[in-house]
Amino acid sequence: MLMEFRKYFYSCGVKKSMVINIDEQFLEQKLPIILLCHGHSRHKNDGLDVLSDHLVQSGFCTARFDFRGCSSLDPDRYELYCATQWPEDLLSAVSYISTLPCVDKNRIGVAGISMGASTAVYVSGIDTRIKSTVSMSGIGNCYEWMKGVWSRNEGDFQYFLKILEKDEEITAATGKSQLIHTLEMYHSSEEEKKNLQLDSFLNNDINAFVSLSSLRNMMSYRPIEKCGSIHHPIFFAHGEKDELVPAEESMQMYQAAASSIKKIKIYEGIDHNIPMDPNRQIVFEDISKWFQETL
């Protein structure tokens, strides 16, 4: 029977909630554990709860949490400092799960989606406690990626950069950064913005807004620069229908990874948010098999 425990850990003094799942029959054993990392403006149950169930059925313990700036309970909601705070959060989560009696701290894996995948890759390049990594729809160079997003959406990227620069001045003068609709960072359509507003109304843990200061921070995020320090097994999964993050991002990180045990797979008919895709099962099965072989 699947058991769920809600615990707390601290990241740079900030209290964070964590959900731990394990099969009851293995509760008194030490199992390999997989940390699951959500994407930008999302939350720990955004399809990762389903992936967690799949991994637990495959004999793993799992843990998932909300990065700083995410979820309705975060005191600094909408402040998503992906390049600095998110790696700190994941490092702290690794430290915390290493203390759990049901965890084999020598068999820690991480799996992330989108910006969570970027963070999984980044931290994998600096923390040798991680023994296996899965990146789903990850981003290797956030500046170049955002530049491409604006180009594909026929927006003026230089105009966006000027907005960020102006907000930096405003923040310096007032101490407060401006909030924008989350999809404005992609120059998305009004219809897409309305759909996100509805999603955030139906699920309060979805962020419909983001601070410009945290977007400036995100633009400096380059997980690909850590790939040369990744020597453990790493698997890059990407959807062929992903219109937000091109598969080239995963390909470039795959090529840069130093590990002799690495894999990349592009899944036909699958979109960006793999854990929420109707055809996610085939990816979940590959992820389970990957961790069974490498942890």
Give the domain-ending residue among 183, 214, 245.
214
pLDDT reported for residue 185: 85
Task: Please give the Cα distance from 262 to 277 (Å, whole number).
Answer: 24
- The end-to-end CA distance of the chain, in Å, is 23
Same domain? 30 vs 172:
no
Same domain? 230 vs 87:
yes
pLDDT reported for residue 34: 99
The total domain count for the chain is 2
Angle at CA of residue 139, ends 134 and 141, nearest 5°: 135
208 in Cβ contact with 200 (< 8 Å): yes
Same domain? 201 vs 240:
no
pLDDT reported for residue 196: 64
Element (H, E) at 105: strand 103-113
Q: Using the 8-state DSSP alphabet, how is residue 13 labeled?
A: T
Give the amino acid at 112. Answer: G
Q: What is the pTM of this model?
A: 0.94
Give the domain-ending residue among 214, 242, 264.
214
Same domain? 265 vs 198:
no
31 in Cβ contact with 38 (< 8 Å): no
pLDDT reported for residue 187: 79
Same domain? 3 vs 114:
yes
Output the tens digit of pLDDT for each of the chain's 295 residues: 889 999 999 999 999 999 999 999 998 899 999 999 999 988 888 899 999 999 999 999 999 999 999 877 777 888 999 999 999 999 999 999 999 999 999 999 999 999 999 999 999 999 999 999 999 999 999 999 999 999 999 999 999 999 999 999 999 999 999 999 888 888 776 777 666 666 666 667 677 789 999 999 999 999 999 999 999 999 999 999 999 999 999 999 999 999 999 999 999 999 999 999 999 999 999 999 999 999 9
Task: Please give the Cα distance from 89 to 119 (Å, whole number).
Answer: 10
Same domain? 131 vs 186:
no
184 in Cβ contact with 209 (< 8 Å): no
Give the domain-ending residue among 172, 188, 214.
214
Same domain? 17 vs 111:
yes
Angle at CA of residue 156, ends 152 and 158, nearest 5°: 125
Task: Please give the Cα distance from 48 to 35 (Å, whole number).
Answer: 10
Residue range of the domain that includes 227: 1-140+221-291
Same domain? 160 vs 69:
no
Phi-psi category of 13—alpha, beta or left, where left has phi over 0 and alpha has psi -120 to 50? left
Same domain? 230 vs 92:
yes
